[in-house]
Amino acid sequence: MRKRIAYTDEPIKIGRQVDRDVLPGHGGPRTGAGRPPAGNKAVTLRLPVKLVERVRRAAKASGQTMSAYVASRLRVG
């Protein structure tokens, strides 16, 4: 026996209704859950191999990650 599907034009309300306010139902993400935004954005660049090697060496010599090294160099100009 198959379940009958009733199609309507009304939007689906999740949760129970109390005094015209729809309360949240079960499931879904909690408010404030997850990692906070770090302020950085991932970027993929296609660079020549020799340039990548130079940046990697310079970052290692300065004790920084490649991202931090490139960001500091771009800030300086």
Q: Where are the domains of the chain?
A: 48-77
Secondary structure (DSSP) of 11-54: PPPPS-EETTEEPP-S-SPPTT-SPPP-S---------HHHHHH
Spatial distance between the Cα atoms of 38 and 16, rounded to a whole number of angstroms:
36
The conformational region for residue 69 under phi > 0 = left, psi -120 to 50 = alpha, else beta, is: alpha
Put simply, whether the predicted model's pTM sits higher than 0.85 gets the answer: no
Q: What is the mean pLDDT of each run of 10 residues along the chain (77 residues)?
A: 68 60 62 79 92 96 95 87
- Distance (Å) of CA 63 to CA 41, 57, 68: 22, 10, 10
Can you give the pLDDT at residue 73?
A: 93
Can you give the pLDDT at residue 39?
A: 83
